[in-house]
């Protein structure tokens, strides 16, 4: 049961949490997130002191270590502005996981307050700002992987709404879409056999519908699936939803303002 | 390198077993989903409501247990309390001895598996025969159930036919109907000569003392009709406040467990045979079993006591599908087992502390649970408990150094730049086991640490320059 209560959006300035994965590997996803947000008139502030949301240790059971990182994150993202994250799982860490591990801590209210203004990017665009459709053009057959940490949230529906509204996009459905890709954070390295068997099954379903690109609101799932596919010598192209939105704008930079096409 | 036992087990699982488990669970899960969403406008509201009913019940056991005891007694049922599994076994034996009984026909009950009742009774010269077809096959094979609802989901009909031939139940024949008919013939005679019928109960109402039993084979019903004495072993968490709560719970149970609107047999048992009834047990006993449940209730994982043993979380779980039920080394496998089994170990928790790790935390279990148990949260709490109790966990990366780094921005930024060395080092030389484990099966993307921050800075500089140039 995800704690999804949110402070309503008032201003048009956000703090961007790039996520440690984008900080280390996927800089273009973070850049696309900035461009997408700015396209809808949002001012993006990037707190330089940011590191990680604390999820790896939370997930691994080391809550003492995790709380240390969460406290740093709370301090780094001080203020009232919404925190926007291009990852369903890091966002869920802040609005759900962190609250769980701070249940008995004195600073729980600070953590809860941060959770209430933390948004996954697509949820922020569609349900926070009210963006209904996306302009531009993106020619391609897209297989959409929802990313499990968006269960119980509106992120997957929001992603599909915007993707489906882009000219040229065809979203194709594939088998057992609700099943996990097998990443699971520390699970992927502690249970490598089961993790990759799950990934193989997912890839089999995805390949069966022959998409041009596999799209997800979470880079961790994509890193797992594309990494597995590449190792098998049958690479598939993965893109974050933000990259698709940004590329759509580039294909037709002059159209629309993000609320209609 | 040490491996996680469940991952290891999955590696060694014969492919045909994995296929049997995968296909069986997938089919039931998909049918369950169709059934629920076709018939109810919002099945999730039902799940939440059922969860609230059960949560209320377990949090008020101190009120409902005395209430149900009084009702049972008024209905003519003997009530026993067993704080441990051994005490429950002894209570069964005591009832048997008092009646000079030597033969028992058992219906499927998870709590009897949990307390290893059949084994206990056999050692004391009592024949305790399983009458549920799946459990019967498990019994003749000296095997263990691998699923809460479908104990032999891991077996093929060819294996079963071989077992039947070995047990003298007829020449080899793997036709399911023939197998069923042969078991039925064999068991029918056993019911008629048994002294005691033993069942569990899916629910018991505090309001009326009514026990509810759901089966698809009618075996529990037959045992109640054929024997003079009925014993019901019931976990204390099975109490629900009112009869009408059963409506929602039964609607969800059949659909969640076997994708049936209602199971074939739903029995409401009010007490022993009345003078006007032609059949039924003359004597009836309820043994309430604690066996660690009170400790679970006192823990921060008490939501697991809502469980109605439907197995829907097993069916949807990608890890269960890959590893099968025996991987969990417990009576309760799958996501619910990964929470409940370590908790029921009491002080021996470390022996099963690896089970909560066997999850990608995908949350599918919570999404299908008819009583909305937040299973991923409970798995996480138990992972934390394992860490606090210093239980070693093979393959889980240590997080202390990482936490230091991730709470000091200057160190973090240095690491982002320094990480570039990964792009030039061969995997074998990477000094981080987790990265090596990743690389063994998956390509690691190119390290681009700090590139985004550089991009953003340059962009902001250009903008500042532009606005300065355009300035007053």
pLDDT on residue B313: 98
Q: Work out whether the CA dihedral B280, B282, B283, B284 comes out positive or negative.
A: positive
Q: Dihedral (C-alpha) B393, B395, B400, B404: value to the nearest 10 degrees?
A: -160
Q: Residue B51's closest chain A neighbor by CA?
A: A1
The percentage of chain B sitting over the pLDDT mark of 70, rounded to a whole number, equals 99
Query: How far is the C-alpha of B64 from the C-alpha of B107, rounded, in Å?
Result: 26
Touching A: B residues 383-402, CB under 8 Å: 383-387, 393-400, 402
CB atoms within 10 A of CB B375: 29
Of A76, A187, A230, the CB nearest to B359: A187
Which whole number is the average pLDDT over A125-143?
97
> 0.90 exceeded by the pTM?
yes
Contacts with A151 from chain B: Cβ below 8 Å = 362-364, 366-367
Inspect the interface and report whether the beta carbons of A25 and B448 lie closer than 8 Å: yes
Element (H, E) at B471: none
Tell me if B331 sits within 8 A of B149, measured CB to CB: no
**DSSP secondary structure string for all residues of B283-345:** EEEEEEE-TTHHHHHHSTTGGGGG-----HHHHH-HHHHHH-GGGG-SSS-HHHHHHHHHHHT
Of B7, B407, B419, the CB nearest to A191: B7
Closest Cα in chain B, distance from residue A34 (Å): 9
Which whole number is the average pLDDT over A29-55?
98
A45-95 confidence digits (pLDDT tens): 999 999 999 999 999 999 999 999 999 999 999 999 999 999 999 999 999
pLDDT on residue A11: 87
Of B399, B407, B441, the CB nearest to A228: B441
Reported confidence tier of residue A252, pLDDT bands at 50, 70, 90: low
The percentage of chain A sitting over the pLDDT mark of 70, rounded to a whole number, equals 95
What pairs with residue B197 in β-bridges? B105, B230
Query: How far is the C-alpha of B279 from the C-alpha of A43, rounded, in Å?
Result: 78
Tell me if B229 sits within 8 A of B169, measured CB to CB: no
Reference A155, options A221, A223, A109; nearest CA is A221
Inspect the interface and report whether the beta carbons of B357 and A190 lie closer than 8 Å: yes
Using DSSP bridges, classify how beta strands B211-215 and B265-269 pair: parallel, antiparallel or unpaired. antiparallel
Reference A59, options B343, B396, B353; nearest CA is B396
* Per-chain mean pLDDT for chain B: 95
Interface-testing mutation among B442, B450, B456, B463, with chain A (most A C-beta atoms within 10 A) = B442
How big is the CA angle at A38 (ends A211 and A84), to the nearest 5 degrees?
75
- ipTM of the shown complex: 0.95
Of A31, A56, A151, the CB nearest to B402: A56
Closest Cα in chain B, distance from residue A206 (Å): 16
Reference B107, options B17, B196, B197; nearest CA is B197
Interface-testing mutation among B2, B7, B399, B436, with chain A (most A C-beta atoms within 10 A) = B399
The percentage of chain A sitting over the pLDDT mark of 90, rounded to a whole number, equals 91
pLDDT on residue B220: 93
Which whole number is the average pLDDT over B401-409?
95
Closest Cα in chain A, distance from residue B129 (Å): 37
């Amino acid at each position: 049961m995800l704690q999804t209560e949110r402070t309503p959006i008032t201003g048009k300035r956000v703090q961007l949490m790039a996520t440690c994965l984008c900080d280390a590997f996927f800089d273009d996803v973070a850049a696309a997130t900035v461009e997408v947000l700015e396209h809808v008139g949002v001012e993006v502030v990037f707190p330089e002191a940011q590191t990680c949301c604390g999820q790896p240790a939370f997930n691994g059971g080391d809550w003492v270590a995790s709380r240390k990182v969460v406290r740093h994150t709370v301090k780094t993202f001080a203020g009232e502005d919404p925190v926007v994250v291009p990852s369903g799982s890091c966002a869920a860490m802040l609005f759900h996981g962190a609250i769980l591990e701070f249940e008995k801590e004195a600073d729980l209210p600070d953590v809860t307050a941060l959770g209430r203004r933390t948004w996954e990017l697509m949820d922020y665009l569609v349900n926070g700002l009210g963006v209904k459709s996306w302009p531009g053009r993106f020619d391609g057959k897209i297989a959409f992987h929802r990313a499990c940490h968006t269960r119980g949230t509106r992120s997957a529906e929001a992603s599909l709404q915007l993707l489906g509204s882009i000219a040229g996009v065809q979203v194709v459905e594939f088998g057992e879409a609700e099943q996990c890709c097998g990443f699971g954070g520390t699970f992927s390295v502690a249970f490598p056999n089961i993790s990759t068997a799950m990934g193989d099954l997912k890839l089999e379903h995805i390949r069966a519908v022959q998409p041009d690109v596999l799209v997800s609101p979470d880079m961790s799932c994509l890193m797992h699936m594309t990494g597995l596919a590449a190792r098998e010598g049958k690479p598939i192209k993965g893109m974050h939803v933000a990259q698709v939105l940004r590329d759509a704008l580039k294909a037709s930079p002059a159209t629309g303002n993000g609320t209609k096409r | 390198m040490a491996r996680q036992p469940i991952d290891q087990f999955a590696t060694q699982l014969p492919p045909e077993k994995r296929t049997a488990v995968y296909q069986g669970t997938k089919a039931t899960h998909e049918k369950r989903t169709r059934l629920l969403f076709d018939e109810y406008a919002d099945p999730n509201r039902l799940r939440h409501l059922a969860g609230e009913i059960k949560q209320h019940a377990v949090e008020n056991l101190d009120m409902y247990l005395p209430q149900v005891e009084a009702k049972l007694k008024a209905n003519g049922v003997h009530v026993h309390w067993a704080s441990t599994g051994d005490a429950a076994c002894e209570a069964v034996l005591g009832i048997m001895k008092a009646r000079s009984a030597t033969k028992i026909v058992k219906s499927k009950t998870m709590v009897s598996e949990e307390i290893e009742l059949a084994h206990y009774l056999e050692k004391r010269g009592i024949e305790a025969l399983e009458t549920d077809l799946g459990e019967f096959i498990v019994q003749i094979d000296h095997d263990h159930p691998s699923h809460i609802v479908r104990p032999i989901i891991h077996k093929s009909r060819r294996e079963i036919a071989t077992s039947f031939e070995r047990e003298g139940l007829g020449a080899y024949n793997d036709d399911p109907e023939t197998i069923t008919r042969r078991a039925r013939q064999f068991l029918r005679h056993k019911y008629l000569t048994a002294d005691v019928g033993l069942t569990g109960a899916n629910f018991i109402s505090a309001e009326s003392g009514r026990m509810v039993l759901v089966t698809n084979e009618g075996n529990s019903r037959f045992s109640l009709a054929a024997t003079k004495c009925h014993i019901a072993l019931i976990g204390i968490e099975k109490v629900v406040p009112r009869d009408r709560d059963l409506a929602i719970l039964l609607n969800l149970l059949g659909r969640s467990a076997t994708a049936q609107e209602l199971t074939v047999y739903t029995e409401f048992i009010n007490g022993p045979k009345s003078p006007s009834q032609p059949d039924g047990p003359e004597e009836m006993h309820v043994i309430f079993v604690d066996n660690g449940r009170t400790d679970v209730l006192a823990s921060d994982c008490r939501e697991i006591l809502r469980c109605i043993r439907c197995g829907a979380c097993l069916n949807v779980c990608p890890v269960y599908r890959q590893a099968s039920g025996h991987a969990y080394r417990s009576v309760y496998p799958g996501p619910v087992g990964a929470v409940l089994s370590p908790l029921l170990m009491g002080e021996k928790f470390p022996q099963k502390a690896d089970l909560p790790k066997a999850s990608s935390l995908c949350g599918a279990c919570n999404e299908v649970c008819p009583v909305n148990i937040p299973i991923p949260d409970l798995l996480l709490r138990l992972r934390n408990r394992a860490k606090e109790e210093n239980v070693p966990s093979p393959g889980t990366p240590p997080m202390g150094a990482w936490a230091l780094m991730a709470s000091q921005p200057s160190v973090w930024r240095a690491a982002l730049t320094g990480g570039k060395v990964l792009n030039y080092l061969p995997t074998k030389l990477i000094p981080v086991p987790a990265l090596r484990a990743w690389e063994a099966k998956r390509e690691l993307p190119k390290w681009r640490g700090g590139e985004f921050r550089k991009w953003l800075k340059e962009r902001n500089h250009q903008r500042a320059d532009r606005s300065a140039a355009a300035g007053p």
